[in-house]
Chain A
């Protein structure tokens, strides 16, 4: 099955600096790579995703890059703000025969923004 590794497990950055979280996956058939953000005590929420036919996607201060050959993808957050403090999960998936995406999640990165 799919295996997703995520690094680092914890990350502290000064407010205004950039943060980068990296993930690698094992199954070359995976074609969908979402990122979820989980604030303390809350449920995970999708913040950005990318499909395998695209190399980069950007949404305001967050961006995701994908290198299919190397089987790794990364989340980039620029101009970090205190509200970016959370646990971030990457995931990889492929469409199942049942019409849904079966996600395999990474182990999470706890990002702390230092004011």
Chain B
């Protein structure tokens, strides 16, 4: 059974803070993704990674960076949090040449 976990369910940060969101999967999947989910906008891809130390920009990468030092862990970094980054953040993983995205439980981030 695939398990994708995220470091926090709820997080409150102040404007300008550096924020780290962590995602860990235990199924040795090559591909990992970060999305943000906003009402009326669906899920939008921020970044994805297809291998350790490899990353690719998604559709809305501005204001975010990522890190993948180990295969099982994919981190999303907000260098200087802003109020418009208040959102639900979802991580997902997929095996190589696979198709089903296995999502984590999500982190609801509030930036005040």
Q: How many residues of B contact A (CB 8 A)?
A: 28
Q: Could you write out 17 A-B pairs with CB less than 8 Å apart? A: A1-B59, A9-B40, A32-B99, A34-B99, A34-B100, A89-B42, A98-B54, A99-B30, A100-B31, A102-B58, A103-B45, A105-B43, A106-B42, A107-B40, A107-B42, A108-B40, A108-B42
Whether B44 lies near A105 (C-beta < 8 A) is yes
Q: How many residues of A contact B (CB 8 A)?
A: 25
Q: How far is the CA of A49 from the CA of B40 in the complex (A)?
A: 22
Whether A46 lies near B96 (C-beta < 8 A) is no
- A-side contacts of B35, CB under 8 Å: 105
- A-side contacts of B106, CB under 8 Å: 43
Whether A43 lies near B103 (C-beta < 8 A) is yes
Whether B103 lies near A100 (C-beta < 8 A) is no
Summed over the interface, the residue pairs from A and B with CB atoms below 8 Å come to a total of 63
> B90 interface residue, CB < 8 Å from A?
yes
> A14 interface residue, CB < 8 Å from B?
no
Whether B41 lies near A102 (C-beta < 8 A) is no
Whether B100 lies near A46 (C-beta < 8 A) is yes
